[in-house]
Amino acid sequence: MMDLHREIIKTGKLMVKQGLVASTWGNISVKLSDDEILVTPSGMEYSKLKPSDLVLVNLEGQILEGCRKPSSELPLHLAFYKYRKDINAVVHTHSIYASAYAALRKPIPPLIEDMAMVIGGPVNVASYALPGTKELAQNAVEALGDKGAVLLANHGVIGVGSTLAEAYKACLLAEKTAHISLAAQIMGEPVALNSEEVKIMREAYLTSYGQK
Ligand SMILES: [Zn+2]
């Protein structure tokens, strides 16, 4: 159990180091059981987090363990776990290029194969709602569908996955693809993978990629 606490803190530090968030922004949660979610605390520096700073809550957001206030985006995290049973981790970042797409309220197209595999199509944009609201949570799950990431309009990125590493990878690849998209548009007209190609790659990734 403590290993998971450490993995969350490690991922938080990595988010800052890799420039996906600044300072205390962004948040991370992991599902421990059907009704137990471990989430990062509100407004604390990742570099100073101790395992005891993480907060254990149930699916209704009631605190089961911990003395910190949970992330202000907790309703968003809980909505994803309620929406899809295959989601075991949620990572939220404010990375630059993906956020530029969020500001344009335009989906990030599936331009690159690794992103197509991990996210499974374009990163769609959830309709705008104020941070921390139930409305934002509802808009976000609707825009996510069966994919691995979603953009929050004028805000940032959410990555989801069967593990914390997968959810983090989704955030990283959304950012990488948004960056590539900008470079490619400066050089010419990028060609996105079509939905059939994305589907085949996504299925192969989920069933046979790596050392399964
Ligand atoms: Zn945020």
Q: Write out the chain's pLDDT in tens, 212 residues.
A: 569 999 999 999 999 999 999 888 999 999 999 999 999 999 999 999 999 999 999 999 999 999 999 999 999 999 999 999 999 999 999 999 999 999 999 999 999 999 999 999 999 999 999 988 989 999 999 999 999 999 999 999 999 999 999 999 999 999 999 999 999 999 999 999 999 999 999 999 999 888 76
Q: Which residue's entry shows tokens 């059939």? A: 196
Distance of CA 131 from the midpoint of ligand 1 (Å): 7
Beta-carbon-side half-sphere exposure of residue 169 (alpha carbons within 13 Å): 15
65 burial via Cβ count (<10 Å: 0-12, 13-18, 19+)? exposed
212 burial via Cβ count (<10 Å: 0-12, 13-18, 19+)? exposed
Rounded CA gap, 209 and 195, in Å?
19
Active-site residue flag, 73: yes
Rounded CA gap, 148 and 84, in Å?
11
Residue 14 sits in a domain whose CATH number is 3.40.225.10
Distance of CA 198 from the midpoint of ligand 1 (Å): 28
Domains of the chain: total: 1
Distance of CA 175 from the midpoint of ligand 1 (Å): 15
User: Which one of the listed residues 36, 73, 189, 203 is annotated catalytic?
Assistant: 73
Distance of CA 103 from the midpoint of ligand 1 (Å): 13
79 burial via Cβ count (<10 Å: 0-12, 13-18, 19+)? buried
| pTM of the predicted protein model | 0.96
Distance of CA 114 from the midpoint of ligand 1 (Å): 25
Between strands 55-57 and 63-65, the pairing is antiparallel
163 and 89 in contact (C-beta within 8 Å)? Answer: yes
Q: In a 3-state reduction of DSSP, which class is residue 69?
A: coil
Length in residues, the chain: 212
Domain of residue 48 covers 2-208
